[in-house]
Amino acid sequence: MVAETQLYHPGQIVPESGIYRCAGGHDEHVFESTDVEGRRFPPLPRGCTGSGWVLTRAAHHHHR
């Protein structure tokens, strides 16, 4: 669960796997990205008016 809103910029290391959305802008289209912990955030998509990514839903890992 996300305790606070944190803005992450393209190229930064993803701190927690999950679905991130482009921060900023209130257009009809929402830009989302599924990112994996330890990898880098992708560039912002064309049309995204924000300046980074915000975690909207963390991934839940199931261990056997």
- H runs (alpha helix) in the chain: none
Instruction: State the residue range of the domain holding 34.
Output: 1-64
* pLDDT tens column, 1-31: 444 589 999 999 999 999 999 997 666 778 9
Total structural domains in the chain?
A: 1
Is residue 61 scored above 50 in pLDDT?
yes
Neighbouring residues of 34: CB distance < 8 A, sequence distance ≥ 6: 18, 19, 20, 59
Query: What pTM, to 2 d.p., does this model score?
Result: 0.81
